[in-house]
Amino acid sequence: MDVLFVMQRPAYMNKKDRYGNHKYPTGMAWHTKKPDMDNLWKNIKDVATTVRWWTDDCVVSCGMLLKATAEMGGSPRLEIMVSEVTQTPEEIWQTCRNLRDTTAR
């Protein structure tokens, strides 16, 4: 289960400097305020259980959650992808490590 929470863009992030340049990136940015990721994760799994995507959220054994601020002109939204896992835990963990290694440079 992979989840993308896109939060409302605060007004201060739309401001420009005196030269007309945006002070903040115009695309999505990391959301570093409340709510906490673990609370979002639990809430979305509980809702998915309530609407009977599964009998219990303990069946979710792999996933990613991203919390971002909306891009300029963008709307808050929630994107959810649920799929069956076909890789082993070792394969998925190695993929995550490889991804981290390529983005850490």
71-103 per-position pLDDT tens digit: 999 999 999 999 998 999 999 999 889 988 877
At 99 the pLDDT is 86
0.75 exceeded by the pTM? yes
Contact 7, 76 (CB under 8 A): yes
Look at residue 95 and give its three-state secondary structure: helix
Burial label for 5, CB within 10 Å (0-12, 13-18, 19+), is buried
Cα separation, 68 vs 26, in Å, equals 12
- Res. 6: pLDDT tops 70: yes
CA–CA distance, 1 with 83 (Å, rounded to integer):
6
Whether the ω angle into residue 35 lies within 30 degrees of 0, i.e. cis, is: yes
For residue 9, the tally of other CB atoms under 10 A from its CB is 22
Q: What is the pLDDT of residues 27-61, one digit of tens each?
A: 999 999 999 999 999 999 999 999 999 999 999 99
Angle at 104 between CA 85 and CA 66, to 5 degrees: 45
